[in-house]
Chain A
Amino acid sequence: MSDAPRRSTRLNKNQEEEKAKAKAVDQDVEMEESPAGSSTDAPKEKVLGAKELEALVIADIKQHFVLFTKSAKTHEARFAIRALRSVSSLRKRLTAQALAKSIVGSYGKDDEARKRLLVYLGSEALTSITPEDEAVVSKYDTPEVDVYLHLLVMIYLLDKGQLEKGIELSNITIKVVQELNRRSLDQLAAKVYFYYARFYELTGRLAEIRPTLLNAQRTATLRRDDDTQSTLINLLLRNYFHYNLYDQADKLVSKITFPENATNNQLARYMYYLGRIKAIQLEYTESHQCLLQAVRKAPQNNVTAGFQQEANKLLIIVQLLMGEIPERSLFRQPVLRKALIPYFQITQAVRVGDLNKFQETLATHAATFNADKNYTLILRLRHNVIKTGIRMISLSYSRISLRDVCLKLHLDSEEDAEYIVAKSIRDGVIDATIDHEKGFMRSKENVDIYSTNEPQHAFHQRIGFCLKLHNDSVKAMRFPLKTVNQDAAEVEAARDQERTLVQEIAEADEDMDEDHDEL
């Protein structure tokens, strides 16, 4: 990603955070009874001292332990998912001290993992441990808690930029995860792999982990572990893309099936990668569909700006390559406006069919396009510019000499113009004939479109789409089993739970977006 959009996303994020804080203050008044709720933490930063804050973090981590244990015992993934959702809010508040205290509080004194994790946290954390922390040890016998603590330490190291340490720890954690064959670990494993790849990417050693990822992908597929599978597929694709190995990426895609139950966030990424592969292979229609899905599935807020910008850039080029002009309103969206300026200029050049302007824009923004890895795709647009130019000429003149065509389109020679016009006629861009002896091109009369089968095709497509939409929505409907006679308290509790869930979903989305920004 280039510098400019990155900066703008940062800015957006700051604004977003401020807004969130302001909102949280309002909520604080209403929700005073639930001090541990994650939404109330933001304003508390001002009110509470460091000590209380730390206590809160530790309490949150403890609560997550309970959730993971519950999830493992009841074989219900949703508890684990719930805990993982709030990791994003936790991430901002993580401190070495809080982590150290949680670790001390949950491992036995001679546990190997305990020693290991504490070493990674650094000496500062060690000194903060007081004997009273060590006094209360509530041991958890589920490995989920162990992996979760590893994950938290990994995130902490990532945020502190201690990449080498992170790589070491992630290698160890991956080993732990691979040795344990537990379904209740799936969601955690996906996260662990994500950060594992992130560490290697930041140190520029992505190529090294490809075999590990491929192996893990195979295992995850065999175990029908949807979360890990979808994460790993995206990581692998990203890995290949990093080295421009589209050939291998395409082969991978042709040999896998993306899990249907994958989360929207993973699906959006997958669709984006797929769209890029298809665009490079000149399958623009498919690419367009994939990218459209990617844009629509991605959460629409300011924090996903990075992903939205990238996906939309590609989408614009693919649309142009298909001979369509993207809508003007797309370029006006506040999130996208700044990042899309070079693409907007290219679009203008293509729309008018001005070859000179196109070359100029290409030259001025070459660095941006290269950074976006879109340069070669944009190069392909050159002949679209010429096509549009010819179409404009054919529409405005019923007869024009080839010499004039040559001058208008800034082509090399009249012979070239003749070949180009002949090719456009064959490709169906214009409906015309060339008179070679007299050297002019004559446009044919416009055919009445309603005398052809075209309208019928168009209608069929639309009807088909509507029917599919109806069928899909019928399929997607769910009917709750128990709706009778819930008493008031139960309703109240359910509502509360719902409210926290909604909040957590919103936060998880933000989390996804942050990760995306980093990508």
Chain B
Amino acid sequence: MAVVEIKRLAQALSKEYNTPNPDLAKCGQYLSQLKIALIELQYLTHEDKHNNIEELTLARDVLEIGAQWSVRSKDIPSFERYMAQLQTYYNDHSELPASPLKYNLIGLNLLCLLSQNRISDFHTALETIDPEQLHNNPSIQHPIKLEQSLMEGSYNRVWSSRSDVPSQEYLFFIDILMDTIRNEIASCSEKAYTSLPLKDAGTLLFFTNMEDILNFAKERDWKVNPVEQKAYFHSDADEKISIPADQIIKQTMFYARDMDRIV
């Protein structure tokens, strides 16, 4: 397929995607056609050096729409693939004009890593970002603040971050994150409290109706006392401390062998 053809397709795609209510299935079709075309011209494999700035920008724009489209259609693996392909355009082609979507997408990627609890990848990705943008760009600051709150345990702040997302696509990942957080809070509560009134447990876990709370309590295997309206947690005080005999024998043998060698 010629470059002209790709241009036509890309225009059709961006037109469709930027309507208020895009037809996601149709965009998907456009995208798969475009991807095949781009691969034929080796824009995605980078076996040849391409120098035409206009064409490279075109390929990048298509990939950017693809990444956003993946988020809208809730397809995380596809989003990750698009991001991986975009990395080359962001890092190695400094001659391209800066894309307005770049930091928005990088922020999304950070959030995606966070929602899957891939903290070490999150920090590695953070290092590649220009420090100037790191401090000032709202799309980047949002996931950074989120990670900080998560590490500290200020779950309240994570919950309220829903209201000030930089763009609509962020919500998808934040919703995934919420489930993770709920489980985090639950595991913290189990250790921190001996018992908790069900109503307070609800506020702590950001539940609004009683049924959800009860279901959740069941999932986590909490003992609920219906009369007192309280949930009791297991305490680890009655766990027995055993003597690690096996380990000690192994260690002592190891000492004996080495001592023998010295003496």
Residues of chain A having any CB pair with chain B under 8 Å: 207, 243-247, 250, 280-283, 370, 373, 375-376, 379-380, 382-383, 386, 411-413, 415-416, 418-426, 432-437, 452-453, 456, 460, 463, 467, 470-471
Min Cβ gap A244→B in Å is 5
**A436 engages B200 (CB within 8 Å):** yes
Q: How far is the CA of A435 from the CA of B241 in the complex (A)?
A: 27
Q: How far is the CA of A262 from the CA of B242 in the complex (A)?
A: 47
Query: Chain A contacts of B120 at CB under 8 A?
Result: 280-283
Query: Which residues 174-201 of B sit at the A interface, judged by CB distance below 8 A?
Result: 184-185, 187-194, 196-197, 200
Min Cβ gap A86→B in Å is 40
**B193 engages A434 (CB within 8 Å):** yes
Q: How far is the CA of A483 from the CA of B15 in the complex (A)?
A: 87
Min Cβ gap A236→B in Å is 16
Interface-lining segment among B4-12, B23-31, B147-155? B147-155
Query: Which residues 115-173 of B sit at the A interface, judged by CB distance below 8 A?
Result: 119-120, 123-129, 131, 134, 144, 148, 151-157
Q: How far is the CA of A460 from the CA of B249 in the complex (A)?
A: 12
- Given contacts A419-B156, A456-B248, A463-B255, whether A436 and B127 have CB atoms under 8 Å apart is no
Min Cβ gap B116→A in Å is 15
Min Cβ gap B99→A in Å is 19
Q: How far is the CA of A380 from the CA of B145 in the complex (A)?
A: 11
- Given contacts A426-B188, A436-B193, A471-B258, whether A280 and B91 have CB atoms under 8 Å apart is no
Q: How far is the CA of A433 from the CA of B190 in the complex (A)?
A: 10
Query: Which residues 191-224 of B sit at the A interface, judged by CB distance below 8 A?
Result: 191-194, 196-197, 200, 204
Contact of A383 among B123, B127, B151 (CB under 8 A): B151
Contact of B153 among A280, A283, A423, A452 (CB under 8 A): A423
Query: Chain B contacts of A436 at CB under 8 A?
Result: 193, 196-197, 200
**B258 engages A419 (CB within 8 Å):** no
Contact of B156 among A207, A280, A376, A412 (CB under 8 A): A412
- Given contacts A416-B156, A436-B193, A460-B251, whether A470 and B262 have CB atoms under 8 Å apart is yes
A-B contact pairs, 10 of them (CB 8 A): A246-B124, A247-B128, A375-B131, A376-B127, A382-B148, A416-B157, A419-B156, A419-B185, A423-B184, A425-B192
**B123 engages A282 (CB within 8 Å):** yes
B244 interface residue (CB < 8 Å to A): yes
Q: How far is the CA of A379 from the CA of B185 in the complex (A)?
A: 23
**A243 engages B197 (CB within 8 Å):** no
Residue picked from A370, A383, A411, A433, most chain B C-beta under 10 Å: A383
**A412 engages B188 (CB within 8 Å):** no
**A245 engages B91 (CB within 8 Å):** yes
Query: Chain A contacts of B238 at CB under 8 A?
Result: none
Query: Chain B contacts of A280 at CB under 8 A?
Result: 120, 123-124, 127
Q: How far is the CA of A247 from the CA of B90 in the complex (A)?
A: 14
Interface residues of B, count at CB 8 A: 44
Query: Which residues 222-251 of B sit at the A interface, judged by CB distance below 8 A?
Result: 241, 244, 248, 251
Dominant SS among interface residues on chain A: helix
**B127 engages A246 (CB within 8 Å):** yes
**B197 engages A419 (CB within 8 Å):** no
- Given contacts A382-B152, A383-B151, whether A437 and B123 have CB atoms under 8 Å apart is no
**B131 engages A281 (CB within 8 Å):** no
**A422 engages B153 (CB within 8 Å):** yes
Contact of A244 among B127, B190, B261 (CB under 8 A): B127
Query: Chain A contacts of B134 at CB under 8 A?
Result: 375-376
**A246 engages B148 (CB within 8 Å):** no
B92 interface residue (CB < 8 Å to A): yes
Q: How far is the CA of A59 from the CA of B262 in the complex (A)?
A: 52
Query: Chain B contacts of A413 at CB under 8 A?
Result: 156
Instruction: List 10 A-B pairs, minimum CB-CB distance, nearest first.
Output: A423-B153, A422-B192, A422-B188, A281-B120, A420-B153, A426-B191, A383-B152, A425-B192, A467-B258, A383-B151
- Given contacts A281-B123, A380-B151, whether A437 and B244 have CB atoms under 8 Å apart is no
Query: Chain B contacts of A460 at CB under 8 A?
Result: 251
Residue picked from B191, B200, B204, most chain A C-beta under 10 Å: B191
**A426 engages B127 (CB within 8 Å):** no
Query: Chain B contacts of A433 at CB under 8 A?
Result: 192-194
Query: Chain B contacts of A423 at CB under 8 A?
Result: 152-153, 184, 188
**A425 engages B124 (CB within 8 Å):** no
Q: Given contacts A422-B153, A423-B152, A425-B192, could you give 12 more A-B pairs where the C-beta distance is less than 8 Å?
A: A243-B91, A247-B124, A280-B120, A282-B120, A382-B148, A411-B154, A416-B156, A421-B153, A425-B188, A434-B193, A436-B197, A470-B262
Q: How far is the CA of A282 from the CA of B123 in the complex (A)?
A: 8
Min Cβ gap A369→B in Å is 9
**B188 engages A419 (CB within 8 Å):** yes
